[in-house]
Amino acid sequence: MKTTTAALLGLLAASVSHAEMTLSSPDVADGGKLSKQQEYKGFGCDGGNQSPALEWRGAPEGTKSFAITAYDPDAPTGSGWWHWQVINVPAGVNKLERNAGVENSTALPKGALQVETDYGSAAFGGACPPAGDKPHRYQFKVYALGVEKIDLPSDSSNALVGYYIHANMLDRAVIEATYQR
């Protein structure tokens, strides 16, 4: 009985010592809908093309940097659509301001790198599902990484960036919202 109690107390202590990582935004609610401000400007869309403000908490011990992605798994490509990838966000940073994802952004923290999206630019590219299609899901994720830097150029493929993010991931948090035109 003592062994079982000690084991249960050990599991409880382990779960209490690691708070769950969370992601929030004043611009995008989990389970909500994106606004016209997060719609792309181009490809037949005429939105504001603004990246949402994001804030995260509860990164695990050992976090050395963060990565942020925005992805549409419902895009009719067979492989989804990458709307944003930012790597090398320093561990001391826990938020990005609204519209930090513009091309050649000065609002990103020093050392952070935006990687080319499926739109072909190293910047945030908003939602632009085909007109009349079902609502698409947009997944904004922040990843706590165990490395200080992912050493890749900004024109790296999204698959390669994803490989390095997942190979070094300690934890992640997600906001998923929908958009339809």
Rounded to a whole number, what is the distance in angstroms from the first to the last CA of the chain? 60
pLDDT (tens digit per residue) in 1-55: 544 444 444 444 444 445 699 999 999 999 999 999 999 999 999 999 999 999 9
- Cα 46 from Cα 41, distance rounded (Å): 4
- Residue 100's Cβ-count burial label (10 Å; 0-12, 13-18, 19+) is buried
pLDDT (tens digit per residue) in 80-134: 999 999 999 999 999 999 999 999 999 999 999 999 999 999 999 999 999 999 9
Q: Is the pLDDT of residue 157 over 90?
A: yes
Per-residue model confidence (pLDDT) at position 6: 45
Per-residue model confidence (pLDDT) at position 29: 97
- Cα 171 from Cα 146, distance rounded (Å): 9
Q: Which domains does the chain have, with CATH numbers?
A: 19-179 (3.90.280.10)
Per-residue model confidence (pLDDT) at position 9: 43
Region 45-70: mean pLDDT is: 98
Place of tokens 């952070």: 112
Per-residue model confidence (pLDDT) at position 18: 53
Residues 42/7, Cβ–Cβ less than 8 Å? no
Q: Is the pLDDT of residue 171 over 90?
A: yes
Token pair, residue 65, equals 């940097």
